[in-house]
Amino acid sequence: MFNKRIKIKELLQSKQTGHKVTVMGWVRTFRNNQFIALNDGSTNNNLQVVVELGLLDDETLKRITTSASLKVIGEVVPSPGKGQKMELKAAAIEILGDSDAEKYPLQPKKHSLEFLREIAHLRFRTNTFGAIFRIRHSLAFATHKFFNDKGFVYLHTPVITASDAEGAGEMFRVTTLPIDNPPRKENGDVDFTEDFFGKSTNLTVSGQLEGELGATAFSEIYTFGPTFRAENSNTTRHLAEFWMIEPEMAFCDIEDNMNLAEEFIQYLIRYAMEHNGEDLAFLDQRLADEEKQKPQSERSEMGLLEKLRFVTENKFERITYTEAINILLDSPAYKKKKFKYDVAWGIDMQSEHERYLVEKHFKKPVIVTGYPAAIKAFYMRLNDGCEPGKETVAAMDILAPGIGEIVGGSQREERLEKLEQRMTDMHLPVEEMSWYLDTRRFGTVPHAGFGLGFERMVLFVTGMTNIRDVIPFARTPKNCEF
Amino acid sequence: MFNKRIKIKELLQSKQTGHKVTVMGWVRTFRNNQFIALNDGSTNNNLQVVVELGLLDDETLKRITTSASLKVIGEVVPSPGKGQKMELKAAAIEILGDSDAEKYPLQPKKHSLEFLREIAHLRFRTNTFGAIFRIRHSLAFATHKFFNDKGFVYLHTPVITASDAEGAGEMFRVTTLPIDNPPRKENGDVDFTEDFFGKSTNLTVSGQLEGELGATAFSEIYTFGPTFRAENSNTTRHLAEFWMIEPEMAFCDIEDNMNLAEEFIQYLIRYAMEHNGEDLAFLDQRLADEEKQKPQSERSEMGLLEKLRFVTENKFERITYTEAINILLDSPAYKKKKFKYDVAWGIDMQSEHERYLVEKHFKKPVIVTGYPAAIKAFYMRLNDGCEPGKETVAAMDILAPGIGEIVGGSQREERLEKLEQRMTDMHLPVEEMSWYLDTRRFGTVPHAGFGLGFERMVLFVTGMTNIRDVIPFARTPKNCEF
């Protein structure tokens, strides 16, 4: 019944005029009782609907308020106005749903991002968030297309897990036990055999370990699903619930891994530039306007589109962790004691250090490899021939301007004895992880993979600065609305 | 470094011979110290690697066991053997990883699905599960492609939620409170203000309500993510964690909704038939072999491929709930008291009733509409002009042979007063759901959507019968391995 409507994006893209169409959407503005800017979410560009004098009675005209929903039948005609090639000459307008202008929280003016976060259920109806979430969609689709075209298998790794060996961060408990009075064992401990899964379970922090099980059968898999951190971090870069993309490749070393990650990031950006030109142009302008409010010294050197083009056209810088430390030690920032945290071989680089490397020194994305084993996860491959006390692993992090770590990856330790030794040293439950070690027991292969934080990628492409603005409904400490 | 390898699928699909290639994979079988069947997971078809006498010493030959991993460099030559057009004449073989044949759980023989479920981390290496999970991948990709091509926005609705009004089933609690000694308020109740999100939170049972927020801004959205039910159902059709696809469309009624769901299901099946021909042929044969073990009377009338073709080529049957009840009341099964549960207008049809309609009466997928309001969710649109006491809603369920309900959907109640009334009648927290009701306050529109259980769709397409066999790592009561 409603299928005969045409979407506004499609209508504006076609060159045809003179025919009759049906459109539906929400009123953005209504000027002079004559010009309705109608939007249906398919594009930020509104369709101008022209209401001729006498078409509607006064009663109806009054109901055409911001966010009222309309069905309009009319003729597509060339527009005499500037800014649009065509407009719709209304022959009939039906009001599908009213919107009380006094009560509607989104007025046709600029609202702060903070305010819009509080009405996240309505912010989709603004130009900024329309653009952001259409771009987010494109980046998600491009992710699937990139890996599908390469023959990777999309693996849905589990969200609920009993494994707690990944050490990626604090976890949320998942339970059906009555929390006010859980069953107890004789010694008083909570009896998790009575829980839904018969044991203590959590929300996953990564699908990697299960991903490795897939890669050692299908050669190449990827995951793309929600992951969780129960860390009390109230920052502009952290979410308790976020989406992560984790490819895992058999017959792959750290070099191949870096190449794939770089190719992937550049592919995503190019895809958005090809498919979301209007949305990116809008956000580019938005960012330029924001920048103008800042003092000269704090302004970005590049605009959004300029930055995106730059990243797709230039190779990422590749340096070792040791080189990174030496650059930091040599830096004016270090010498003038501008860093809050000390620099020395062995440190887990802080955000300020990463930003210095990326934003000041190289001014482009940087891939850092060969991190100290002591600060990295158990599954990363030990590099051969290290100086004693300076053992490194085949890890790689990609740092992006304005974002920090956007990718973390490694070649995995495929040698059973070395892996078992590392797990024992780190007090990990070797027995419980026997399923994982089976991949090393039965036809082990060199393999590697990485995780890309999807929201950080969306931040990078949209030029937004708070991660809560690029996920539909953010989950952060003390915040779980909608 | 490893990038120069060619995948076996690609090698077997090319017609070229006479050139040198590098392949890597796992040994499936090794016959006569001469013929290695090598598999890399890109296809069920193994590459025959020919080892000429004298190429390898005895020591190395012994290490070529089932599941050992190899790197083989050789020349692609036409195969004199039947069943394959080409084979690889090995010039060099490197063993990447050994596999102790005595200990490897997967022997080159038929294993039961039950046994394979226990070694779910290795079952990907079998032909059956290789086929299933490549098809699952294709169906996931086809889902994104279907909606992307239509201009839907992929919306990542939250997994952790504080909303408990959806009434779709029992929920898992998500918490960071110490379960053995949670903080308490003065009256002794657990103090959830101390919990991570400052309130009691759960795993989502559906992204629909948030999806409606998206659809009333972007016109058309879809979700595709994990959903959860804490129900103690140990059946072949239920999982505690499963993936669901939920499109939601503004300017859409129940008719459009049915059309879209039918088109989507047929699209998915056609996509798999086009892209997974070999995998489906394998599963078709597998099912045919299984059927042969059954007594004649229990065998399916159609083979797998025949069934899939039938579903893509025939329109689904569409009947009202009232018609469905009348068919059941008229059925020989009812008259001979073969149903365990009684039949009368108003019942929530049981699996046996749905199976009768789909498998005995119509022998095709059936869309049932117009269910009694009393057995359906609060957000479904009340049909106008119902007989008092026989109120129905614009709901639609799609029932598939062998699966039962594969889609559940409805046109949503877009009229604010009727929705509020229904919520009040059902004792739902109208105040708390104010954000949801805002979509009806500010430019409400007719809209509709449905949920498709992804694993049930994979079951249908693969012809498997236990839902645990079509998800990588099943989560069911007392079972959370890997």
Q: Name the band, by pLDDT with cuts 50, 70 and 90, for residue A109.
A: confident
pLDDT of residue B165: 60
Q: What is the reported pTM?
A: 0.97
pLDDT of residue A260: 98
Which residues in chain B are contacts of A252 at CB distance < 8 A? 2
Q: Name the band, by pLDDT with cuts 50, 70 and 90, for residue A1.
A: low
Report, at the CATH architecture level, how domain A125-170+205-469 is classified.
Answer: 2-Layer Sandwich (3.30)
Each residue's pLDDT tens digit, A145-164: 999 999 999 999 999 999 76
- Which residue intervals of chain A bear CATH 3.30.930.10? 125-170+205-469
CB contact under 8 A, A154 and B140: yes
Q: How far is B297 from chain A (nearest CA, A)?
A: 37
| Contact (CB, 8 A) for B203 and B229 | no
Quick one: how far is CA A23 from the chain centroid? 32
pLDDT of residue A15: 83
Which residues in chain B are contacts of A213 at CB distance < 8 A? 121-122, 124, 482
Each residue's pLDDT tens digit, A223-260: 999 999 999 999 999 999 999 999 999 999 999 999 99
What are the backbone dihedrals phi and psi of residue A110, each rounded to the nearest 5 degrees, phi first? -80, 125
Using the Cβ of B286 and the Cβ atoms of chain A, whether some distance falls under 8 Å is answered with no
pLDDT of residue B352: 95
Percentage of the residues of chain A whose pLDDT score is greater than 90:
92
Each residue's pLDDT tens digit, A377-434: 999 999 999 999 999 999 999 999 988 999 999 999 999 999 999 999 999 989 999 9
Q: What does the pLDDT average to over A218-225?
A: 98
CB contact under 8 A, A256 and B170: no
pLDDT of residue B299: 86
pLDDT of residue A299: 85
Between residues 289 and 318 of chain B, which touch chain A (CB distance below 8 Å)? none
pLDDT of residue B83: 77
Of B136, B182, B210, which is closest to A179 when you measure between CB atoms? B182
Question: Which CATH class name applies to A2-109?
Answer: mainly beta
pLDDT of residue A82: 80
CB contact under 8 A, A159 and B214: no
pLDDT of residue B297: 85
Of A1, A136, A159, which is closest to B253 when you measure between CB atoms? A1
What is the ipTM score, two decimals? 0.97
Q: Name the band, by pLDDT with cuts 50, 70 and 90, for residue A3.
A: low
pLDDT of residue B320: 98
Between residues 443 and 482 of chain B, which touch chain A (CB distance below 8 Å)? 443-446, 471-473, 475, 477-482
pLDDT of residue A167: 62
Q: How far is B78 from chain A (nearest CA, A)?
A: 25
- Which residue intervals of chain B bear CATH 2.40.50.140? 2-109
Per-residue pLDDT of chain B (482 residues; tens, 9 = 90+): 566 899 999 999 988 899 999 999 999 999 999 999 999 999 999 999 999 999 999 999 999 999 999 999 999 999 987 878 899 999 999 999 999 999 999 987 889 999 999 999 999 999 999 999 999 999 999 999 999 999 999 999 999 999 766 666 789 999 999 999 999 999 999 999 999 999 999 999 999 999 999 999 999 999 999 999 999 999 999 999 999 999 999 999 999 999 999 999 999 999 999 999 999 999 999 999 999 999 988 888 899 999 999 999 999 999 999 999 999 999 999 999 999 999 999 999 999 999 999 999 999 999 999 999 999 999 999 999 999 999 999 999 999 998 899 999 999 999 999 999 999 999 998 999 999 999 999 999 999 999 999 999 999 999 999 999 999 999 999 999 99
Using the Cβ of A256 and the Cβ atoms of chain B, whether some distance falls under 8 Å is answered with yes
Using the Cβ of B228 and the Cβ atoms of chain A, whether some distance falls under 8 Å is answered with yes
Which residues in chain B are contacts of A443 at CB distance < 8 A? 26-27, 67-69, 96-99
Using the Cβ of B206 and the Cβ atoms of chain A, whether some distance falls under 8 Å is answered with no
